[in-house]
């Protein structure tokens, strides 16, 4: 609050208070009611398009306003409080009024895991919510996934079709109740119902079957994570050969049975967002859970239904010795399609995957996958940002025009800006199917309408053939094209509020370059809305073009060719049908890339860790899993002008026939040291000491931590993305920020209509 607000409070007892932020759907109005009652004030509180409006009168308004931000409900986030002196209210008591309507500038909070008070009731035989899988209150439960529009009132949610019974209506109207104006309030008498009993679900899981359940943001597939046959069957049916599955355990105490969690990881597991957290695995689950990887994704129960399933599983007594139940919990999206949310759609699409499909009659209005996070360099890093965090906004350094940024083609998200807030959507996924495109367009419609945003410009990737580019071009709006790696850098710049020239080290798989080339290992100097490419990794041939992305042995062959040892390709990769013809193919002009991701692929194949990959990043992840400790090969790299080459490192790996563990450590340590040397030289040349680190390769915790430590030791200030993923999930934020800067620097941008 401002000094002028303090003066108003001291000078009068009749006040109008406006609160903006995440203050709808979190029990804020009942909280205000209780606070006003405590201080003996009259007046009212209501939701309005800006957040919450409060009018109070009495002798203790000063104490009321001072306490307002200090005792807020656990899910509330206050951005701003303004205070205005007004005339007499003539109110006899304090009340909660119906919401006011108009142009929206408030927001909905993210979905929240079941609170402890609701859990106590869930397992209390004397509670009317005993064993009810949809118990919730003002402090927990679904929010964003059941909201259709603002203000966040029951009539604007999926709960509008459930008329409250007398008991629920009484709690909803009782200021002393935790469910006072809890919009998703429900009970067994009047609320949503499951299609199957909890014991049916538990029996199926315990019996090795695959079960689909309707979760908070979409359907999930469950099976016994200790049953190798069940996990393999799930892989076959879902056509997911190697990509890891996440698992769920019933309590935080059980986590230590299957993984190692440190003091930074445990709070993430227990947070109200309940993300999947990547943890070092103890390797005592079914081998097919995370083949070839050293980490496993672990999560705790999110919804009451999950708690009830574990309760029923433990009650069967059929589990393995003293170990508790562990279940696979993976998105029920066959073939990379979007997560099913509709009951009829789920019954149709999952019939060939699940042995049992459990529906319920509360609609999911916005699909949202589980979020995935890891602790990197001591802090949270997103791998996938979705349920539990969206639509929490990212605060920008300044107010900007309304922009829509449509992201990339893989791990897609969109971003819309409103004032000084950037709203990054939930993970949409890959846009290579008609269903994916529909989800992308559905997300744009929902986010812009919910937040009441009409964008003046659309920002998109520079790639001319990307689905998102085609969408932008067809919109008829002003457009801003943003180079892929510039967007990666700008996402970190926007998140950290940087307003000065910045170096950017981008280690990525692929991005369309300003010259039309295949970029992926870039050193940029960013200033304002522009950038200059001041360095890149040495170009390497990609034999077979995009096929080399799926077949890392081809990138390893390119290394052999680079080192003048092409005749060894046939012997080293004799198991590959195309190995005979690859040397001659490499002798011909072909596509080249500066991609850091392809260097990881080459190293993994050279070390015999992965010659083929069935999902993006598989070779790099398995290479990282082999690292026990890092080492640096002195003179393992060369910097020629602006080009960084790891040729000496690869020569050593091949010549000495280094083993997988030693080679993985040497590759990571040397690559990180080379990048630090590269950046430090650029810092001395440019006089810029701040460097942002982004791109998909920074999902590699070993690389990220080594580079960060090295930069600090070199006197630089390294910054990693913390609010969005370093992979393409963060692109849309960077695009939005660059578009906003371009408008500020050159207003004529708005005149460029497609």
Give the Cα separation of 512 and 484 in Å (integer). Answer: 6
Q: In this structure, are 230 and 346 located in the same domain?
A: yes
- Residue 96 is predicted with a pLDDT of 86
Tens digit of pLDDT for each residue in 485-541?
999 999 999 999 999 999 999 999 999 999 999 999 999 999 999 999 999 999 999
> Which DSSP state fits 43?
E
Residue 12 pLDDT greater than 90, yes or no: no
User: What six digits make up the tokens of 70?
Assistant: 């200090």
The dihedral region occupied by 206, where left means phi > 0, alpha psi between -120 and 50, and beta the remainder, is alpha
What mean pLDDT is predicted for residues 709-723?
A: 98
User: What six digits make up the tokens of 644?
Assistant: 């960084």
Residue 10 pLDDT greater than 80, yes or no: no
* Coil vs helix vs strand at 656: coil
Of the candidates 452, 585, 489, the residue with the CA atom closest to the CA atom of residue 105: 452
Domain count, the chain: 3
Helix axes 618-625, 596-606, angle to 10 degrees: 60
Q: Which residues pair with 297 in a beta bridge?
A: 246, 278
Tens digit of pLDDT for each residue in 723-751?
999 999 999 999 999 999 999 888 887 77
Report which secondary-structure segment, H or E, holds 638: strand 638-640
How many residues in the chain? 754
Q: What is the domain range of residue 45?
A: 3-96
Q: Which residues pair with 349 in a beta bridge?
A: none
Contact by Cβ (8 Å): 525, 501: yes
Pairwise pLDDT comparison (48 vs 535), residue with the higher score: 535
Tens digit of pLDDT for each residue in 357-403?
999 999 999 999 999 999 999 999 999 999 999 999 999 999 999 99
Contact by Cβ (8 Å): 301, 308: no
- Residue 262 is predicted with a pLDDT of 95
The dihedral region occupied by 96, where left means phi > 0, alpha psi between -120 and 50, and beta the remainder, is beta
Is the residue at 712 inside a domain?
A: yes
- CA-to-CA separations, 28 to 74, 78, 111, 125, 559, in angstroms, rounded: 10, 10, 16, 30, 61
SS (H, E, C) 693-749: EECHHHHCHHHHHHHHHHHHHCCCEEECCCCCCCCHHHHHHHHHHHHHHHHHHCHHH
Q: Strands of 326-331's sheet, edge to edge?
A: 356-358, 211-214, 219-224, 326-331, 246-249, 295-299, 276-280, 372-376, 379-384
Residue 226 pLDDT greater than 90, yes or no: yes
Q: In this structure, are 206 and 91 located in the same domain?
A: no
Q: In this structure, are 86 and 207 located in the same domain?
A: no
Residue 101 pLDDT greater than 70, yes or no: no
- Residue 2 is predicted with a pLDDT of 44
Q: In this structure, are 547 and 692 located in the same domain?
A: yes
Q: Which residues pair with 82 in a beta bridge?
A: 18
- Token pair 């059929």 is found at 318
Residue 318 pLDDT greater than 60, yes or no: no
Spell out the residues 6+ positions from residue 744 whose beta carbon is closer than 8 angstroms to its own: 400, 529
- Residue 106 is predicted with a pLDDT of 65
Contact by Cβ (8 Å): 257, 199: no
Q: In this structure, are 92 and 234 located in the same domain?
A: no
Q: In this structure, are 79 and 209 located in the same domain?
A: no
Domain termination residue (choose one: 372, 393, 423): 372
Give the Cα separation of 446 and 449 in Å (integer). Answer: 5
> Distance from first CA to last CA of the chain, Å, rounded?
44
Q: How confident is the model at residue 6 (pLDDT cuts 50, 70, 90)?
A: very low
Q: In this structure, are 204 and 91 located in the same domain?
A: no
Pairwise pLDDT comparison (428 vs 100), residue with the higher score: 428
Percent of the chain whose pLDDT exceeds 90: 84
- Residue 192 is predicted with a pLDDT of 98
Helix/strand/coil percent split, the chain, to 5: 35, 25, 40
Give the Cα separation of 548 and 382 in Å (integer). Answer: 27
- DSSP labels, 237-262: HHT-SSPPPEEEESSGGGHHHHB---
- Residue 64 is predicted with a pLDDT of 95
Is the residue at 502 inside a domain?
A: no
Q: How confident is the model at residue 74 (pLDDT cuts 50, 70, 90)?
A: confident
Handedness of CA 243, 248, 252, 256 (dihedral sign): negative
The pLDDT mean for the chain works out to 93
Tens digit of pLDDT for each residue in 561-610?
999 999 999 999 999 999 999 999 999 988 999 999 999 999 999 999 99
Of the candidates 209, 202, 179, the residue with the CA atom closest to the CA atom of residue 307: 202
Of the candidates 269, 246, 255, 384, the residue with the CA atom closest to the CA atom of residue 327: 246
What mean pLDDT is predicted for residues 630-648?
A: 97
Q: In this structure, are 363 and 234 located in the same domain?
A: yes
Q: How confident is the model at residue 612 (pLDDT cuts 50, 70, 90)?
A: very high
Residue 92 pLDDT greater than 50, yes or no: yes
The gap from C-alpha 526 to its chain's centroid, in whole angstroms, comes to: 25
Full-model pTM: 0.93
Pairing of strands 478-482, 457-461: parallel
Contact by Cβ (8 Å): 299, 246: yes
Domain termination residue (choose one: 59, 78, 96): 96
Extended beta strands in 413-517, E state: 415-424, 457-461, 478-482, 502-512
* Radius of gyration, alpha carbons of the chain: 27
Give the Cα separation of 577 and 572 in Å (integer). Answer: 12
Tens digit of pLDDT for each residue in 233-256?
999 999 999 999 999 999 999 999
Is the residue at 403 inside a domain?
A: no
Residue 337 pLDDT greater than 90, yes or no: no
Contact by Cβ (8 Å): 275, 390: no
Domain termination residue (choose one: 96, 121, 147): 96
- Residue 749 is predicted with a pLDDT of 76
- CA-to-CA separations, 275 to 254, 383, 429, 595, 700, in angstroms, rounded: 16, 10, 17, 30, 19
Of 109-123, 207-221, 306-320, 463-477, least confident by mean pLDDT is 306-320
Is the residue at 421 inside a domain?
A: no
Is the residue at 228 inside a domain?
A: yes
Q: In this structure, are 213 and 329 located in the same domain?
A: yes
Helix axes 660-686, 647-655, angle to 10 degrees: 170
How many angstroms separate the most distant Cα atoms in the chain? 93
Spell out the residues 6+ positions from residue 275 whose beta carbon is closer than 8 angstroms to its own: 268, 299, 370, 371, 372, 373, 388, 389
Is the residue at 509 inside a domain?
A: no
The CATH number of the domain holding residue 338 is 3.90.870.10
- Residue 9 is predicted with a pLDDT of 45
Is the residue at 111 inside a domain?
A: no
The CATH number of the domain holding residue 13 is 3.30.70.100
Q: How confident is the model at residue 316 (pLDDT cuts 50, 70, 90)?
A: confident
- CA-to-CA separations, 500 to 529, 688, 691, in angstroms, rounded: 11, 9, 11
Is the residue at 667 inside a domain?
A: yes
The CATH number of the domain holding residue 586 is 3.30.420.40
* Coil vs helix vs strand at 125: coil
Q: How confident is the model at residue 8 (pLDDT cuts 50, 70, 90)?
A: very low
């Amino acid at each position: 609050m401002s000094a002028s607000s303090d003066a108003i409070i001291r000078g009068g007892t009749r006040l109008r208070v406006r609160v903006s932020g995440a203050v709808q759907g979190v029990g804020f109005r009942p909280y205000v009611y209780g606070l006003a009652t405590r201080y003996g004030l009259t007046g009212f509180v209501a939701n309005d398009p800006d957040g919450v409006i409060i009018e109070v009168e009495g002798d203790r308004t000063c104490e009321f306003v001072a306490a307002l931000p200090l005792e807020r409900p656990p899910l509330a986030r206050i951005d701003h409080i303004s205070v205005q002196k007004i005339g007499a209210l003539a109110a006899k008591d304090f009340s909660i009024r119906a919401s006011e309507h108009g142009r929206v500038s408030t927001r909905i909070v993210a979905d929240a895991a079941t609170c402890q008070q609701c859990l106590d009731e869930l397992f209390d035989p004397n509670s009317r919510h005993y064993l009810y899988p949809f118990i919730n209150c003002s402090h927990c439960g679904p929010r964003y996934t059941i909201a259709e529009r603002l203000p966040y009132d029951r009539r604007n949610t999926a709960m509008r079709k459930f008329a409250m019974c007398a008991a629920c209506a009484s709690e909803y109207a009782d200021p002393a109740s935790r469910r006072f104006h809890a919009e998703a309030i429900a009970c067994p008498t009047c609320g949503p119902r499951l299609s199957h009993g909890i014991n049916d679900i538990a029996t199926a899981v315990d019996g090795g079957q695959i079960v689909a359940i309707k979760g908070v943001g979409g359907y999930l597939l469950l099976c016994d994570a200790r049953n190798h046959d069940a996990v393999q069957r799930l892989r076959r049916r879902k056509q997911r050969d190697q990509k890891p599955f996440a698992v769920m355990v019933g309590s935080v105490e059980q986590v230590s049975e299957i993984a190692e969690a440190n003091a930074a990881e445990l709070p993430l597991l227990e947070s109200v967002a309940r993300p999947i957290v990547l943890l070092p695995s103890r390797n005592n689950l079914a081998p097919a859970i995370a083949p070839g990887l050293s980490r496993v994704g672990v999560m705790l129960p999110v919804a009451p239904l999950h708690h009830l399933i574990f309760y029923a599983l433990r009650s069967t007594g059929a589990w393995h010795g003293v170990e508790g139940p562990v279940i696979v919990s993976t998105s029920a999206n066959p073939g990379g399609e979007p997560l099913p949310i509709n009951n009829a759609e789920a019954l149709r699409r999952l019939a060939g995957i699940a042995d049992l499909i459990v529906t319920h009659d509360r609609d999911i209005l916005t699909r949202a996958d589980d979020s995935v996070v890891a602790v990197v360099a001591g802090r949270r890093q997103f791998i996938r940002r979705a349920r539990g965090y969206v639509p929490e906004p990212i605060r920008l350094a300044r107010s900007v025009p309304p922009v829509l940024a449509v992201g990339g083609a893989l791990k897609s998200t969109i971003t819309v800006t409103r004032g000084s807030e950037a709203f990054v959507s939930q993970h949409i996924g890959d846009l290579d199917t008609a269903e994916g495109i529909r989800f992308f367009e559905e997300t744009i419609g929902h986010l812009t309408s919910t937040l009441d945003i009409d964008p003046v410009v659309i920002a998109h990737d520079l790639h001319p053939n990307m689905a998102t580019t085609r969408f932008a071009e067809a919109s008829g709006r002003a457009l801003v094209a943003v180079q892929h790696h510039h967007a990666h850098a700008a996402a970190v710049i926007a998140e950290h509020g940087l307003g000065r020239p910045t170096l950017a080290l981008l280690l990525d798989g692929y991005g369309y370059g300003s010259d039309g080339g295949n970029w992926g290992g870039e050193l940029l100097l960013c200033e304002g809305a522009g950038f200059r490419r001041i360095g890149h990794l040495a170009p390497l041939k990609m034999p077979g073009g995009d096929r080399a992305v799926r077949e890392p042995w081809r990138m390893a062959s390119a290394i052999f060719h680079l080192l003048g040892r092409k005749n060894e390709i046939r012997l080293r990769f004799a198991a590959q049908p195309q190995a005979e013809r690859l040397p001659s193919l490499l002798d011909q002009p072909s596509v080249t890339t500066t991609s850091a991701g392809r260097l990881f692929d080459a190293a993994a194949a050279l070390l015999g860790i992965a010659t083929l990959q069935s999902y993006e990043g598989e070779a790099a992840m398995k290479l990282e899993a082999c690292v026990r400790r890092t080492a640096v090969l002195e003179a393992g790299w060369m910097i020629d002008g602006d080009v960084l080459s790891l040729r000496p490192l690869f020569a050593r790996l091949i010549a000495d026939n280094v083993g997988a563990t030693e080679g993985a450590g040497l590759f990571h340590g040397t690559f990180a040291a080379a990048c630090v040397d590269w950046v430090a030289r650029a810092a001395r040349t440019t006089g810029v000491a701040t460097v942002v680190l982004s791109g998909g390769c920074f999902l590699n915790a070993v690389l990220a931590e080594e580079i960060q430590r090295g930069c600090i030791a070199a006197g630089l200030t390294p910054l990693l993305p913390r609010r969005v993923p370093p992979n393409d999930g963060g692109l849309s934020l960077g695009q939005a920020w660059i578009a906003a800067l371009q408008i500020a620097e050159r207003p004529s941008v708005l005149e460029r209509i497609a």
